[in-house]
Chains A and B, each alone.
Chain A
Amino acid sequence: MSNESKENIEHHIKVYINVFIALAILTIVTVAVSYLDVSFIEAFFIAITVATIKGSLVLAYFMHLISEKQAIIWVLVFTFIAFLILIFLPLISVTDSTGVY
């Protein structure tokens, strides 16, 4: 994204506006869905899915990841793997014998 032509930047600005509108709509959707009478698992799945879509839009377009170099992609791939380990680490406590006397 460092060396862009004027036409490219003007095209990007239109994309930024569209992403902003999509993010605003998805925020309203997230709040509206939370008022639906669904189970916790369903509500969790919907909320995380919408948040992931919103996060992907920010990463791809505002943070320019869609056109970024391989080095950054690899940094993020390794971070994502470490993040998943970190997030799911507590689940080990469900299956191991720690705390059983």
Chain B
Amino acid sequence: MSNIPYILEERPDTGLNNSKLGIWIFLASEVMLFGGLFSAYIFLRLAAPEGDFEYWGSKLNIPMATFNTLILITSSVTMVMSWASLKLQQFDKYKMYLGITILCGLAFLFVKYFEYTSKFEHHIYPSSSTFMGIYFTLTGLHVLHIIGGVLVLIFFWSSQANKMWEDNEALLANRIEVVGLYWHFVDLVWIFLFPILYLL
């Protein structure tokens, strides 16, 4: 792994290490992925019969979604605090903050599970309406991103992190910064999904 150039040190031409530039380019592709679906939402809403989106949107649970928004915001701040703890050479605090971030991610999934199952109990499925189709697509894709993020965070919370910290502190801090950028992006997507799907 140490043979890969510019993982930690900055490239002279970009002024960045490749890990950070790489994750930003990946996030740019993610913007286009979600952008396409946001565009689909606008297109479907413009074409929908008047009041249709409002009617189906009113079936969503706003308090649950508000709670989930607060959970994700909390997870974002604990994520960045875990990175700051590494920079301050406080490994125990890093573990604590990352552990809270993982718990927040799991709590988000737990709430989402209840939201989905309550819809299914009322026989509301993606096929029930155009709104529900785009709602399940957008939130489902977002949930997949949360699951992926939580799995990576668990890896960096496991004993592998202790080993990395002993071997190369800067490498672990770099990895957590990169993972953190992804996690904040997932939070960012939810910040826009929440009002568009639940409140409008």
A59/B73 contact (C-beta < 8 A), A16-B81, A31-B66, A47-B199 known: no
Interface residue? B21 (CB, 8 A) = yes
Q: Which of B15, B81, B177, B181 contacts A71, CB < 8 Å?
A: B15
Contact at B24–A75, with CB atoms within 8 Å? yes
Docked complex: A42-60 residues within 8 A CB-CB of B: 43-44, 47-48, 50-51, 54-55, 58-59
**Interface bracket on A:** 35 or more
Chain A residues in 8 Å Cβ range of B59:
none
Chain B residues in 8 Å Cβ range of A59:
184, 188
Chain B proximity of A66: nearest CB distance (Å): 13
Do most interface residues of chain B lie in helix, strand or loop, or is the interface mixed? helix
Chain B interface residue count, CB cutoff 8 Å, equals 48
- Leading 8 A-B pairs by shortest Cβ distance: A90-B43, A47-B195, A34-B199, A20-B77, A79-B28, A71-B14, A86-B35, A69-B15
- What are 13 sample pairs from A and B whose C-beta atoms fall under 8 A apart? A6-B88, A19-B77, A20-B76, A34-B199, A43-B200, A59-B184, A62-B187, A63-B181, A63-B185, A83-B35, A86-B36, A87-B39, A90-B43
Residues of B that sit less than 8 Å from A by CB: 10, 14-17, 20-21, 24-25, 28, 31-32, 35-36, 38-39, 42-43, 46, 62, 66, 69-70, 73-74, 76-77, 79-81, 84, 87-88, 174, 177, 180-181, 184-185, 187-188, 191-192, 194-196, 199-200
